[in-house]
C-alpha cells in the first residue's frame, strides 16, 4: 500500500495589528489645519470687505447740518463765497488719508495723516500730521454698505458720500 501524502494546508498569515493612534493623530492634525485655513480666510475676507467699503474711493461732502439737525448750505459751513466747493476725503489702504474741509495749502500738514478703523463703534479715527485728531462716524445701510461718513466741522456735521462722477 502506498502511503498517501498528507497535503499541507497553507498557513494563513495573520496580519499584524496596526495601532490606530497614529491615524487618529493624523486626522486631528488635518482637521486643525483645515479649520485654521478656513478661519484665516474668513478673517481676511471680512477685513478686506470692510476696508473695500471706504478705501480707495473719493468721498465728497454733499450735505451739512447744524447742531439742531437743520440742513444748512455747504458754503456757509466752509465759509467760502461759492457754493460749488466740496470737501474731500480719501482713505488709502496703507492707513493714510487726505481730508479737505476747506481750501488750503497742501503743505500745511492739516489735510493729511493716518487713520484707524474702529470696527466695533463704526468710526474712523484720524490723526493729522499737524497733531490734531478727529473722529468720523460711519453710517451703514441695512445691507451693510456705507450710506455716508459723518464729519464734525466747526459746530456742523458734514455728510460725505462716494463721488460717483
**Domain, as residue range, for 127:** 55-162
Q: Is 16 part of any domain?
A: no
For 42-89, how does the pLDDT look when each residue is reduced to its tens digit (9 = 90+)?
A: 555 444 445 557 788 889 888 899 999 999 888 778 776 665 667 889
For the chain, what is the domain count?
A: 2
Q: Is 4 part of any domain?
A: no
Q: What is the pLDDT of residue 111?
A: 85
Do residues 148 and 161 touch, judged by C-beta distance below 8 A?
yes
| pTM (predicted TM-score) | 0.64
Q: What is the pLDDT of residue 28?
A: 85
Q: What is the pLDDT of residue 9?
A: 65
Residues 96 and 151 in one domain: yes
Helix and strand numbers, DSSP H then E, in the chain: 2, 9
- Quote the DSSP letter at residue 122: T
Residues 77 and 42 in one domain: no
Q: What is the pLDDT of residue 143?
A: 85
Q: What are the two backbone dihedrals, phi and then psi, of residue 138, each rounded to the nearest 5 degrees? A: -105, 125
The H or E element that residue 58 is part of is strand 58-65
- Output the tens digit of pLDDT for each of the chain's 165 residues: 556 666 666 666 666 666 777 778 888 888 888 888 877 665 554 444 455 577 888 898 888 999 999 998 887 787 766 656 678 899 988 889 999 887 665 555 568 899 998 888 999 999 998 899 999 999 988 888 889 999 998 889 999 988 866
Residues 70 and 44 in one domain: no
Residues 60 and 46 in one domain: no
Residues 25 and 40 in one domain: yes
Q: Is 10 part of any domain?
A: no
Q: What angle do CA 71, 84, 117 make, to 5 degrees?
A: 65
Instruction: Pick the last residue of a domain from 37, 54, 71.
Output: 54
Residues 139 and 62 in one domain: yes
- Which of 17-20's residues contact partners 24+ apart within 8 Å by CB, and which partners? none
Amino acid at each position: 500500500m502506498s502511503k498517501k501524502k498528507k497535503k499541507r494546508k497553507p498557513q494563513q498569515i495573520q496580519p499584524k495589528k496596526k495601532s490606530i493612534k497614529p491615524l487618529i493623530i493624523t486626522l486631528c492634525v488635518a482637521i486643525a489645519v483645515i479649520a485654521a485655513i478656513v478661519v484665516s480666510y474668513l478673517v481676511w475676507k471680512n477685513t478686506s470687505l470692510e476696508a473695500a467699503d471706504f478705501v480707495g474711493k473719493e468721498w465728497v461732502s454733499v450735505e451739512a447740518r447744524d447742531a439742531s439737525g437743520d440742513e444748512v448750505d455747504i458754503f456757509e459751513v466752509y465759509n467760502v463765497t461759492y457754493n460749488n466747493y466740496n470737501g474731500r476725503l480719501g482713505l488709502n489702504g496703507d492707513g493714510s488719508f487726505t481730508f479737505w474741509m476747506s481750501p488750503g495749502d497742501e503743505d500745511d500738514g492739516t489735510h493729511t495723516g493716518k487713520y484707524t478703523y474702529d470696527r466695533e463703534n463704526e468710526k474712523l479715527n484720524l490723526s493729522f500730521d499737524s497733531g490734531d485728531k478727529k473722529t468720523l462716524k460711519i453710517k451703514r445701510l441695512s445691507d451693510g454698505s456705507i450710506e455716508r461718513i459723518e464729519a464734525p466741522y466747526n459746530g456742523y456735521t458734514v455728510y460725505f458720500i462716494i463721488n460717483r462722477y
